[in-house]
A = this chain, B = another copy of it.
Amino acid sequence: MITEQAVTSADKTFFQLRSDIVEGVIPSGSKLSETELSTKYQVSRAVIREAINRLEACHLVERRANVGARVVSLTPAGLIQLYQVREALEGMAARLAAKNMSDDEIADLTSLLDNHFQTVKDGNSYYQEAGDLDFHYRIILGSKNQHLIEVLINGIYHLIRMYRVQLGMAGPRVTTAFDEHKHVVQAIANRDEELAEILMRRHILYSKNNIERKLLQS
């Protein structure tokens, strides 16, 4: 896992705000007042502005000139659109991972899945959050494509997590998702780019359908 390190005060404020937004401490749709936040976090408005600018770059807030910044509003349609982008990008990531991951990295990925299998078999649902994330992160990083990594990890994943937390989605589907992960890894191990992409896209598409079903229930 890549650990972001806060060197400057704006970094810390950015990480704090991002966490508060994603976890729902700052509710979606609410306004971000610069003066208010500067007193709350005991930093100058310049720092807050810098942090808000970065939040905008992550698509977590929207700014309007001379008006201010608001946390993005979460809509079912927005979540669907997010999954469409994710399907396209992670599909390509799996394709590139099949081409660019080293044999060692693939071996690590395989053993990771074995560990996951143990936790799942033991009835432990630890797999739900961290395991799923770890799997997807490794493949994204395995693509060795800097743009892909940037957009997915710094952009889309925080938004996805925000949706999960706030719309009360209970993580990924545990039972079937594991088999899907396994097949993706097999395709990558076989260096089958085409199949790796197809399987990853289907995996994400299933997740999307699953979420759509849950959204319709509520």
CB–CB B88/A146 < 8 A: no
CB–CB B150/A59 < 8 A: yes
**Cα distance A17–B23 in the bound complex, in angstroms:** 36
Segment 61-117 of A: residues with Cβ below 8 Å from B = 65-66, 78, 81-82, 84-85, 87-89, 91-92, 96
CB–CB A96/B78 < 8 A: no
CB–CB A84/B65 < 8 A: no
CB–CB A89/B96 < 8 A: no
CB–CB B147/A59 < 8 A: yes
Select which of B8, B50, B57, B89 is within 8 A of A89 by beta carbon: B89
Segment 149-171 of A: residues with Cβ below 8 Å from B = 150-151, 155-156
Select which of B8, B85, B91 is within 8 A of A151 by beta carbon: B85
Select which of B54, B78, B84 is within 8 A of A92 by beta carbon: B84
Residues on B with C-beta less than 8 A from A11 are 65
Segment 103-148 of A: residues with Cβ below 8 Å from B = 145-148
Q: Chain A's interface: helix, strand, loop or mixed, by majority? A: helix
Residues on B with C-beta less than 8 A from A147 are 59, 81-82, 84-85, 156
Task: Name the distance in Å between A15's Cβ and chain B's nearest Cβ.
Answer: 13
Given contacts A11-B65, A53-B53, A88-B88, 17 further A-B contacts (CB under 8 A): A46-B46, A49-B50, A53-B54, A54-B57, A57-B57, A78-B146, A81-B146, A81-B147, A84-B145, A84-B147, A85-B89, A85-B145, A85-B151, A87-B92, A89-B89, A147-B156, A151-B151
Q: Which residues of A contact B (CB under 8 A)?
A: 7-8, 11, 46, 49-50, 53-54, 56-57, 59, 65-66, 78, 81-82, 84-85, 87-89, 91-92, 96, 145-148, 150-151, 155-156
